[in-house]
Amino acid sequence: MTVGRLSIGAIHDWKVSDHVKIGLGGLVSRYDIPSPLSASYGDPTSGMAFVRLKIG
């Protein structure tokens, strides 16, 4: 059996200084779960929010 996933996300960076940026982002995923596995997997949607620090 195969479980499929489709994800979409985005991030936006703000310049803090010449060599530092901070970013806020998010990601949402939706899963295609075969019927025999759906009881084990539960809700077929998940999400994540994150902060990123870029130095360089």
pLDDT for the residue 37:
83
Question: Long-range contacts for 48-52 (Cβ within 8 Å, ≥24 apart)?
Answer: 48/9, 49/24, 49/25, 50/11, 50/24, 50/25, 50/26, 51/22, 51/23, 51/24, 51/25, 52/11, 52/13, 52/22, 52/23, 52/24, 52/25
Range of the domain at 39: 4-55
Quote the number of domains for the chain. 1
pLDDT for the residue 19:
97
Express each pLDDT in 10-42 by its tens digit.
999 999 999 999 999 999 999 988 888 888 877
